[in-house]
Structure 1
Amino acid sequence: MRRFTERLDMTPIGPEHAEQLWLLHQDPEVAHWADPLSPDEARAVAARMSEGWRVEGVHKWIAHDRATGELVGRGGLSWTEVAGAPVLEVGWVVRRALWGCGYATEIGAESLRFAADALGAARVVAFTEVHNTRSRAVMERLGMVYTREIRRPGLIAGKEGVHDDAPFALYAADLRPGAG
């Protein structure tokens, strides 16, 4: 389900996008939050996302600038679990050179429209490590509301490596008509 915004061409990620995912995750600032990927890992991630589109009708898009064709990032929706319950999560990754240009917000907003219009979703969540203020600001620009702290594997400010019990800020968007 390809989507277009004012500036972006967003194509469902498939195996043909593995090299672009690999390139995106080679950016040190991206890799800090979204993990670096080897070429083999990028192929596996692209295949998993493609399968999500095929089986669940939803997953991430690869995003390109409509005017230039330049790779901007990736983002969209996927199913995950929070507190043992399945939830639809919105997320994004944008190349560091393009941070501050509104692309993450644009990807997130289109993802929420897709969730409401195409999927009929009533609620979507987003979460990030509590110290990831840039992603939290995007969530707030999208109208998402902080609901609580959750724990999952991730980064802890001032500590090296991934920790099993890192604090994450959980946000939610109520997509029901008239909500918000």
Structure 2
Amino acid sequence: MHAKRSVQAPTDPVLTRRLVLTPVGRGDVDDLVLLYSDPVVAYWTGPWTRAGVEAWAANMAAGWTADGVGKWMARARSDGSLVGRGGFTRFDLAGEMVLELGWAVRDARTGRGYATELGRAALDWAVTHHAELPIVAFTEVHNRASRAVMERLGMGPAGIIRREGLVEGRTGIHPDAPFALYRL
């Protein structure tokens, strides 16, 4: 008799050395509000309202159902405390369907390698579940911390895209901000 090998479903928890990654769902709104209220997280990802977080969480849950891909909540394996969120969004980038890798780590936990650990787990997950899709990541050109994570993950610069975001030296959100695009 051969032992049956279990195949991991896309929505099964992903374990890393320090993190438990679980698909974002509607039940994660309180933790997401906490995450997005951190000043540095809010600077790069905000501004957020509770209604906006609820809509985003519902959209992520729908993405997991429709596409088998989405963002995870990242919690510490040691005590279940919130570390951040990250993972993929499937979307059309100039006519090419891609997985966009992104993350946000609580302010108190930055600088400890959590974004890189989450990113590596996501890349490993993608090989199993969506190997056919190219992987990209992007951030505002002046977000040096996120660009450094992309480089640690083995991603290389692939140009500039423009979308709504921050522009260095200017206040507020701008409709045509430059984002550094990276590809695996």
Q: Normalized against structure 2, the TM-score is what?
A: 0.91
Contact 1:89 1:124 in 2 (8 A): yes
- Aligned equivalents of 2:151, 2:59: Cα separation in 1: 29
DSSP-derived class of the 1:25 partner? helix
Contact 1:116 1:122 in 2 (8 A): no
Contact 1:59 1:78 in 2 (8 A): yes
| Structure 2 unpaired stretches of 5+ | 1-10
Aligned residue-pair number: 173
- Aligned equivalents of 1:125, 1:154: Cα separation in 2: 17
The alpha-carbon distance between structure 1 residues 114 and 63, as it changes in their structure 2 partners (threshold 3 A), is: same
Cα deviation for residue 37 of structure 1 reads 1.9
Cα RMSD of the aligned pairs, angstroms, is 1.0
Cross-structure match for 2:154 = 143
| Structure 1 unpaired stretches of 5+ | 174-180
1:23 aligns with 2:11: no
Poorly superposed stretches of 4+, deviation over 6 Å: none
DSSP-derived class of the 1:19 partner? helix
Query: Of the two, which has the highest radius of gyration?
Result: 2
Contact 1:18 1:45 in 2 (8 A): no
Cα deviation for residue 122 of structure 1 reads 4.6
> In the alignment, which of 121, 124, 127 is matched to residue 135 of structure 2?
124
Identity of aligned residues (%): 50
DSSP-derived class of the 2:37 partner? coil
Cα deviation for residue 69 of structure 1 reads 1.1
The alpha-carbon distance between structure 1 residues 105 and 121, as it changes in their structure 2 partners (threshold 3 A), is: farther
Cross-structure match for 1:46 = 57
